[in-house]
Amino acid sequence: MQETRLDTARIRAARRVIDPVFLDTPLYRCEALEPDLGCTVNIKLETANPVRSFKARGTEVVASLLADNASRAVVCASAGNLGQALAWSGRGRGLDVTVVASRFATRAKLDRIRALGAGLELVDGDHELARERAAAIARYDGVRLVEDSLDIETCEGAATIGLELVDTAPSFDTVLIALGGGALATGVGHVMKASAPEVEVICVQPLGAPAMTHSWRQRRVVTTDSTDTIADGVAGRRPIPAVLDDLLLVADDAVLVQEASIIAGMRVLLDHAGLVAEPSAALGIAAILEDRDRFAGQHVVTIVCGGNVDVGTYHQWVGAAPIHRS
């Protein structure tokens, strides 16, 4: 395999600094999903932890490095899950955490960031504007900027999920990974290509936020002017070149799914697996629902990567979701 920015030895070392509450998350075959999906489905559940997403695997690595620094202040931009994770990791290590987010972000995520003790600054725009503001704060105040997916710690923290898949899962054919900024996809993808190259790595993104998928397909950075998706956790417009370079080395395919399929995926996970998944976490199921023939008879692993939702909005989604059969 050509070399990515990631290093397998560092990924294994990351497990030693990540709080065990975020490690060895449930991985199980969910037979109740299989009649609807037409394939064997294993769930890797990354919501059963204090921040209800995989993001703390990366922020634990970041915070462990910052804990010994003279400057203990850190800032990040977040759609919500990274901010919660950094707030949690920073609180345990005495860091001064500031999170910049869109004021249109999921309310439950913003409330949780505040509850975890981080400073929260809201911008009147999308996640890309929040990234610009966080970078400006870091420059002006001379504090550490944590950039999700660009900072290798966020990718290698996420990659520990891949270690758990190859170390504990029975043989499987495909892993479906939500694609946003790319930390999860490049992290898990790196481990798959290094340790289980026969496994197909498929990244899944909403049709309404396709920048990274278009970039992967065209092998160059493609930006978009806007996004239109309920999957706020993956709604980026400007891919990071270094992350795209890694993704090109580890992803076998990148697919786009419709909003109706994302909602249907959330409903399937609720009805048949008893899981509350945020839209980004249902992307893998959505991909199967849209192309059952592709996955028929396969053994598939999907990473349910987050479960932070506004309850009222969530019920509106899953209460109205049609399940499309092909």
Taking only the tens of pLDDT, the chain with its 326 residues reads 679 999 999 999 999 999 999 999 999 999 999 999 999 999 999 999 999 999 999 999 999 999 877 778 999 999 999 999 999 999 999 999 999 999 999 999 999 999 999 999 999 999 999 999 999 999 999 999 999 999 999 999 999 999 999 998 678 999 999 999 999 999 999 999 999 999 999 999 999 999 999 999 999 999 999 999 999 999 999 999 999 999 999 999 999 999 999 999 999 999 999 999 999 999 999 999 999 999 999 999 999 999 999 999 999 999 854 544 44
Instruction: Give residue 321's pLDDT.
Output: 45
Q: Residue 91 burial by CB count (10 A; 0-12/13-18/19+): exposed, middle or buried?
A: middle
Instruction: Give residue 169's pLDDT.
Output: 66
Instruction: Give residue 66's pLDDT.
Output: 92
Considering only CA atoms, which of 159, 179, 163, 160 is closest in space to residue 286? 179
Residue whose entry in the numeric block shows the structure tokens 């600094």: 17
- Give the β-pairing of 40-45 and 27-29: antiparallel
Nearest-angstrom CA–CA distance, 262 and 314: 12
Q: Whole-model pTM?
A: 0.95
Considering only CA atoms, which of 206, 180, 300, 185 is closest in space to residue 253? 185
Which DSSP category does 15 fall into? T
Nearest-angstrom CA–CA distance, 264 and 241: 32
Task: Answer yes or no: are the C-beta atoms of 266 and 279 closer than 8 Å.
Answer: yes
Instruction: Give residue 320's pLDDT.
Output: 55
Which residues, in sequence order, are CB contacts of 37 under 8 Å at separation 6+? Answer: 268, 285, 288, 289, 292, 295
Beta-sheet strand order (sheet of 73-77): 119-123, 96-102, 73-77, 144-146
Q: CB 112: neighbour CB atoms within 10 A?
A: 21
